[in-house]
Amino acid sequence: MSNNKLLIGKHIPVQERRAQLEKKHAPWSRQTLATHFYAACKTFGKSAYVHINDETITYEETWERATVYAKAMLQMGVKRRDHVAILMENDLHYPSLFIATSMIGAVFVPLNSMLRKDELKYILTQSDSRFLFFHQSIKRNNYEKIILELLEDSTFQEENKLQTIVCLQTTNEPCDQQFLTWEKFIASASHINDDLLNNRQSSSEYPDEIAIIMYTSGSTGLPKGVMLSHDHLLRCAYSTCYSRAIEMGRVTFGALPFYHCFAIVEGLLAMSFVGGSLISANRFSPLLALEQMEKYKANDFLCVPSMLIPLLNEPRVTEFDLSHLFAMWCGAAPAPAPVWQKAKDVLGMTEIITGYGQTEVSSSGVTTEIGDPIDRIVTRVGRPKLGGAAGLTEFNGSTVEYKTIDPETGEDLPKGMIGEFVVRGNTVTRGYYNKPDETAATIDKDGWLRTGDVGIIDEKGYLEHLGRSNDLYKVSGELVAPREIEEVIVKHPAVNQVFIVGVPDRITTEAGAAFIELKSGEKLDRKEIVDWCKGKVARFKVPRHVWFIEPSDWPMTSTGKVQKFRLQEMAKKRLNVTDESNK
C-alpha cells in the first residue's frame, strides 16, 4: 500500500499534478511563513516532514516545537523585526527555529557553518543580530571558543548588538556560563501563555516584511545580507513545485546545508506545499545517501555535480533498491552529458532538470523543463520557471523575467548575443541589508537586478550560462567565455570534469588555464587536450596551460561549487605570475 503511494507520482501525468497544486493553492494567498506552515500542519500533520540522523519529525511535531521556541524567544526578549542569527548544523531543531522566528515577527539570519572568526565577527556585527543560537562545535570548528574570543575583542564589544547567546551542547563539555543553555531556553517557554504568543503572531501578519537575511559573498567584496520577504520565499518554493509538477507526499533526498537557499526553498519550503518530506544530512556520503534513499523510499534527489558524480561512481550503487526514485534536480554547476545519461541509466531517472538562480532571486529563477532532452540540459540552465498561482501575467506566468544587457553600457541586447543577465520579479530581493551603495549599484529604478553572470538567451527563452562576468578573459583582445571551451573538453571520453580560468600573459594579455580531472584509470597529456580542441574552437580559445588534478584537489565551497578564483590563485602560483607582473 505505502509502496504504491510513493510510486504513484511518476505515473500521474504532469498536467494532472499541476492541476492538483492549483486546486489547493489558487488564487495565490499572500502569507507569512508561519501562517503557511500552520495551514500545512492542518492538512499534513501526521506526515513525516524531515528525516535526519536516523530521526524523523512530523509536520505536527515541527509546529509544536516551533510554538515552544517562539514562546521561549518572547521570554528572552525578542521583539518584532529583531534579527536572530543561527549558527548550526542541520538538525531537527533548525526548521522549527525558522518557523518560530516567523511566528513572532523576527528576522531569521542563517549563518554558514564553516565561517572563520573574522567572517563571523563581520556578519554578526553587520547584520545587527541581537540573538544568536549556535552549536558548540561544528566539524573542526570550535565555535564556543571562537565566540568567547569575540566577546573579548574590544572592537566587537563596541560594535555588536548581541543581547543573548544560546548554546546547544554538542561535546562532552557543558556550555560556558556566559551562554544561555538550550535546556534553560526551552524551560523559559513556560512563562509565556498562548494568548501572548497569539497576540504577537497576529500583529506580525505582514507577508511583505523581511523574513530572512541570507549572506552571500558574491564574486567580490565583503559578504552582503540579501533581504527576502515571506512572500518572496513562498512564491519561489511554490513555483518550483508547480514547474517540477511535484506530487503530494513526495520524498526528497537533499544533503544540502540548511543555511543555504537551495535547501530552505527547494527542500524545506517546497515540501511543505505538498506534504512531502526531506531527507537531510550533515555531510554528503555517497554510500550513506544510497542507504537513506532506500530506507525512506526517496522519489527525488536534490544535488550538485560534486554529489551526483561520486554517487554514480560508488561501486555498490546497483545494490540498493531505488525503484521509488524518478526525479532529480542537479544544479549549481555544469555536469557533462555522460553524467546525465548515467543518472538515467543507473538511477532510473525519468524527470531530470537543472536550474539557475541566486540568493537574490530567493533561490532558482529558471529551470529546464520536464522532458527536456539531455543535450539541452547540458547546454542550458533553463528558462523562467512556470509560476502557476504564484506567477504574474506580465512575466508570462512566471515569477521573474530575464534579459541580457551590455555589461559596460547597460543597454538591452537582442536574444542570441552574449551579455550580462539581469532579472526582476516578485521573488527578487529589495536589496542588501545596510548596504545602500551596493543595492543602488545592483538594482535599478525599475527593479532589474544585475546578476554578475553572463550568457545568452536563445530563441526559446532558455538561458545559456557562460560564467561570471569576472570569469571572462581576453586573449589578444578577443573575449573568451570559459564555459564554451569546458563543454568541448568535457566531451573527451577520458575527461570527468574540467574548469578553465584566465591568467595573466605577457604576450596575449591573458591566456586560458585548464584544470582537468580524468576518469579513473585514464591518462592524457597537454598535447592531446590541445589536439582535441583544434577544429572545435577558434585557435585563441584553446587553453595554453593544462594541468591534471585529482578529485580531492578541487577547491570547493560548502555547497559543492568549484571556486574559480582559487583555481586562478593555483594557476598563478604554478606559473609564478601575478597581476602586477603583467603590467
Q: What is the 3-state secondary structure (H, E, C) of 137-182?
A: EECCEEHHHHHHHHHCCHHHHHHCCCCEEEEECCCCCCCCCCCEEH
| Exposure string over 459-479, b if 16+ CB within 10 A, otherwise e | eebbbbbbbbbebbbebeeee
In a domain, 107, yes or no: yes
52 and 192 in a single domain? The answer is yes
262 and 407 in a single domain? The answer is yes
82 and 144 in a single domain? The answer is yes
Alpha carbon separation from 342 to 308, 310, 337, 349, 396 (Å, rounded): 10, 12, 9, 9, 34
Does the CA dihedral 255-258-261-264 come out positive or negative?
Answer: positive
327 and 455 in a single domain? The answer is yes
Using DSSP's 3-state secondary structure scheme, residue 222 falls into: coil
pLDDT at 522: 93
454 and 532 in a single domain? The answer is no
Q: Which residues pair with 403 in a beta bridge?
A: 422
197 and 300 in a single domain? The answer is no
pLDDT at 506: 80
Cβ atoms within 10 Å of 277's Cβ, excluding its own: 25
| Residue 131 · residue 78 · CB < 8 Å | yes
Please state, rounded to an integer, the average pLDDT across all residues of the chain: 92
What number of H helices and E strands is found in the chain?
21, 28
* Number of structural domains found in the chain: 3
Domain final position from 156, 172, 206: 206
Residues 320 and 294: their CA atoms lie apart, in Å, by 6
The DSSP output letter for 303 is E
187 and 247 in a single domain? The answer is no
Cβ atoms within 10 Å of 95's Cβ, excluding its own: 28
Rg (CA), the chain: 24
User: How many whole angstroms from its chain centre is CA 87?
Assistant: 17
Model pLDDT for residues 89-106, shown as the tens digit of each residue = 999 999 999 999 999 999
Residues 268 and 250: their CA atoms lie apart, in Å, by 12
| C-alpha closest to that of 37 among 248, 270, 197 | 270
User: How many whole angstroms from its chain centre is CA 194?
Assistant: 35
In a domain, 21, yes or no: no
Q: Which residues pair with 432 in a beta bridge?
A: 226
The Cβ-side half-sphere exposure at 335, using a 13 Å CA radius, reads 27
463 and 479 in a single domain? The answer is no
In a domain, 146, yes or no: yes
pLDDT at 218: 46
464 and 485 in a single domain? The answer is no
CATH at 528: 3.30.300.30
Q: Residue 243 class from Cβ within 10 Å (0-12 exposed, 13-18 middle, 19+ buried)?
A: buried
Residues 574 and 553: their CA atoms lie apart, in Å, by 14
Reading the block at residue 259, the C-alpha cell is: 543555511
Domain final position from 174, 206, 238: 206
Model pLDDT for residues 233-263, shown as the tens digit of each residue = 999 999 999 999 999 999 999 999 999 999 9
In a domain, 498, yes or no: yes
In a domain, 188, yes or no: yes
187 and 76 in a single domain? The answer is yes
Longest dimension (CA), the chain: 75
pLDDT at 217: 63
Residues 546 and 159: their CA atoms lie apart, in Å, by 47
Domain final position from 444, 468, 492: 468
Q: Which residues pair with 138 in a beta bridge?
A: 141
In a domain, 11, yes or no: no
**Is pTM, for the whole model, over 0.95?**
no
The Cβ-side half-sphere exposure at 58, using a 13 Å CA radius, reads 10
Q: How many residues does the chain have?
A: 583
CATH at 48: 3.40.50.980
The DSSP output letter for 432 is B
Residues 378 and 64: their CA atoms lie apart, in Å, by 44
CATH at 391: 3.40.50.12780
Range of the domain at 505: 474-582
260 and 200 in a single domain? The answer is no
pLDDT at 2: 37
In a domain, 108, yes or no: yes
| Residue 333 · residue 304 · CB < 8 Å | yes
430 and 320 in a single domain? The answer is yes
Q: Residue 583 class from Cβ within 10 Å (0-12 exposed, 13-18 middle, 19+ buried)?
A: exposed
User: To 10 degrees, what angle do helices 286-295 and 305-313 make?
Assistant: 80
Residues 510 and 577: their CA atoms lie apart, in Å, by 12
| C-alpha closest to that of 430 among 269, 229, 239, 238 | 229
Residues 115 and 421: their CA atoms lie apart, in Å, by 29
The C-alpha angle 230, 18, 345, rounded to 5 degrees, equals: 105
| Residue 145 · residue 117 · CB < 8 Å | no
In a domain, 220, yes or no: no
Identity (one letter) of the amino acid at 372?
Answer: D
Residues in the chain predicted with pLDDT less than 50, given as ranges, are 1-7, 218-220, 579-583
Q: Which alpha helices (DSSP H) does 380-525 contain, by range?
A: 436-442, 482-489
